[in-house]
Structure 1
Amino acid sequence: MTTIDDTALARLEAEGRLFNAVLKAEMPQPGRFGFRGDIALRFQQQMADEKRPPDYSIEQVVTFARAGEAIIPALAGYLHSFAYLEDVVKVMGDLLSPTGVYLMFCNNIDLRAQYRVVMNGIPFSVLPCDESTVWKELTELLGIEKSELKKLDTAGKTDVVLDALLDFGDAFDEITFQRGVEVMEPVRNRNENRPV
């Protein structure tokens, strides 16, 4: 049986960074431990024993790690601002690899933009995400039909999507992080045009 303590997710768990989990469990594929939820990037200052939500996080994360391996091979998630990519590298850089596949959907980049940003040797594919979810965007991007996932449980569905993500290769224009910050747009209010 694979537990989170056997994987690269163990440090994030010990630091209390994994929360809002839809999935935090052993996967159908042996040796894999999957996580779907949020990864805290910056915590609010806490007074005494009160528990406050993080300032900001990588939201709607879809990822896994293998038992006995020190890196997370693939991860997709949502950042409310492109600028938070710097914090992803600070918090998780030692767990990511130059050969890994890391997709970040961002609120505040041009809706036609698709970037490749390499930071500390770690490649990130950066795409826009406005009113959709990471799961929906990911399955569309990877060409996964709903019928392929229909009869599977959450862990099974996540395994299928992560297998497809491992094979993802982008041909996006490479830009520097600094350039991305220069051209990023104001953060949009995701609830602006939603009915009450």
Structure 2
Amino acid sequence: MTTLEKTVTVADTALSRLEQENRLFNAVLKGPTKKPGRFGFRGDIALKFQAQLADEKRPPDFSIEQVLTIAEAGAPTLEIFVGYIHSFAYLPVVAEVMKGILSPTGTNFIFCNNIDFLAKYRVVVDGITYFVLPCDESTVWKEMTDLLSVDKNDIKKLDTAGKLDHVLDKAIGFKEPYTEITVEEGIAKMEPVKNRNENRPV
């Protein structure tokens, strides 16, 4: 039986190391998608762990949240990766944790809390290009469907895995001439991290 014929597990994919390091958590989807040989993940990826005492489980210090990605069985890298970080300053940590997992020719989106609301950047870190976009009181899923002009009627009857396939297949190969900046320039431009709960009723 080939890898494509059996049920794909995270161990068959480029996400395997993150799983071994216990970085994949809060999963809405963590399993095969509708396409043969493909594994989908929607959830969070821990970037920095808190110190733990004995057996206590503490949440990470900070993470890539609302991750959307698909991984092909046997492929060494991911061709598409989407996530949210609270601060642009976390981008080098993203690059470090995801080293060897993201493809130099892949499509990667990072939504960020503390960049100008109209900003759209291209940032290259260690040979990997990230489209960095603002995200304040929305969700990564909504931002991506809006960015890609996904018709809600096309996906409303699909389940979580089917929706992920549809949206991320459309995102692969995304190209826009966004302003290219360095990490240092982005850190210099970034704003204070906004409290996403500030204006919400208690």
TM-score range, shorter chain: over 0.9
Following superposition of structure 1 onto structure 2, how do residues 21-60 of structure 1 map, counting pairs within 5 Å?
21-60=27-66
What's the % identity of the aligned pairs? 63
1:88 alignment partner, one of 82, 86, 94? 94
Tell me the alpha carbon deviations over residues 54-82 of structure 1, each in whole angstroms, 9 at most, x when there is no partner.
Answer: 00000000001111111011111110000
Counterpart in 1 of 2:132?
A: 126
1:7 alignment partner, one of 8, 13, 23? 13
Counterpart in 1 of 2:3?
A: none
Comparing 118-127 with 91-100, greater Cα deviation is found at 91-100
Shift of 1:28: 0.6
**1:161 and 2:159 aligned:** no
> What residue ranges of structure 2 are gaps of 5+ in the alignment?
1-6
Q: Is the 8 A contact 2:106 2:173 kept in 1?
A: no
Tell me the secondary structure at the aligned position of residue 109 of structure 2. Answer: strand
What is the CA–CA distance in structure 1 between the aligned matches of 2:122 and 2:129, rounded to whole Å? 7
What's the TM-score, normalizing by structure 2?
A: 0.96
Tell me the secondary structure at the aligned position of residue 98 of structure 1. Answer: strand
2:122 alignment partner, one of 116, 126, 131? 116
The count of aligned residue pairs is 196
What is the CA–CA distance in structure 1 between the aligned matches of 2:171 and 2:140, rounded to whole Å? 12
The one-letter code of the counterpart of 1:103 is F
Tell me the secondary structure at the aligned position of residue 78 of structure 2. Answer: coil
Shift of 1:169: 1.2
What is the CA–CA distance in structure 2 between the aligned matches of 1:170 and 1:191, rounded to whole Å? 31
Shift of 1:167: 3.0
> What residue ranges of structure 1 are gaps of 5+ in the alignment?
none
Shift of 1:98: 1.3
What is the CA–CA distance in structure 1 between the aligned matches of 2:184 and 2:101, rounded to whole Å? 23
What is the CA–CA distance in structure 2 between the aligned matches of 1:120 and 1:12, rounded to whole Å? 19
1:63 alignment partner, one of 60, 63, 69? 69
Tell me the secondary structure at the aligned position of residue 84 of structure 1. Answer: helix
Shift of 1:193: 0.7
What is the CA–CA distance in structure 2 between the aligned matches of 1:154 and 1:136, rounded to whole Å? 14
Q: Write out the 4+ residue segments of structure 1 that deviate beyond 4 Å after TM superposition.
A: none
Q: Is the 8 A contact 2:114 2:191 kept in 1?
A: yes
Question: RMSD of the TM alignment (CA)?
Answer: 0.7
Tell me the secondary structure at the aligned position of residue 103 of structure 2. Answer: coil
**1:107 and 2:107 aligned:** no
Counterpart in 2 of 1:140?
A: 146
**1:77 and 2:83 aligned:** yes
The one-letter code of the counterpart of 1:121 is G
